[in-house]
Amino acid sequence: MLFRHLLLSCSLLLWNCQESVSSASNEKYYAATFAKVNWFQAQSACQRSNMMLASVTSLQRHLQVIRSISLNGHLLGHEKFWLGGNNLGDLSTWNWMSRGLPFGYKKWAKDEPRSALTGQEGCLAMGLDEDWHSEDCNNEYYFVCERQCNSSATFEPLYI
């Protein structure tokens, strides 16, 4: 467990905005592939590094997230990744945690979201098909963080 904490701490500290996915965008995405955690732990891990779970507000940003995952090797299409959306406050509305705004752009998989029907699976994950799925927030997946690179915030050590 101590090794996991050290690895998490070092991994996000080494990332910086120079690993830009798109020079035209202020937001940068980082696919955290060093540990699988639940949605709440993923959100906390991103926040401790002055980031948030990724908000995907357009097709361009969706493609940027996919690219950030593919930069980490063979995981794209083989693993799920937490994103920053949820409907924990209201089953009928999905919001971006970082912005507090409802989804505009959506990339739901067929028959999704399921959470409005069951009252469960209120957290957003990108599936193996690169589409969005409502998932139980306690499942453990890798995650994608987003950072405003024009902010003056510095990275803090990351502990889970």
CATH fold group of domain 2-16+27-148: Mannose-Binding Protein A; Chain A (3.10.100)
pLDDT band at 54 (very low <50, low <70, confident <90, very high): very high
Whole-model pTM: value is: 0.78
What are the tens digits of pLDDT across the range 103-115?
999 999 999 998 7
What are the tens digits of pLDDT across the range 137-155?
999 999 999 986 555 555 4
3-state SS record for the chain? CHHHHHHHHHHHHHCCCCCCCCCCCCEEEEEEEEEEECHHHHHHHHHHCCCEECCCCCHHHHHHHHHHHHCCCCCCCCCCEEEEEECCCCCCCCEECCCCEECCCCCECCCCCCHHHHCCCCEEEECCCCCEEEECCCCCEEEEEEEECCCCCCCCCCCC
The full set of domain ranges for the chain reads 2-16+27-148
**Residue of 130 and 72 predicted with greater confidence:** 130
Query: Is a pLDDT exceeding 80 seen at residue 84?
Result: yes
For the residues 82-103, what does the mean pLDDT come to? Answer: 90
For the residues 55-67, what does the mean pLDDT come to? Answer: 94
Q: Specify the pLDDT at position 151.
A: 53
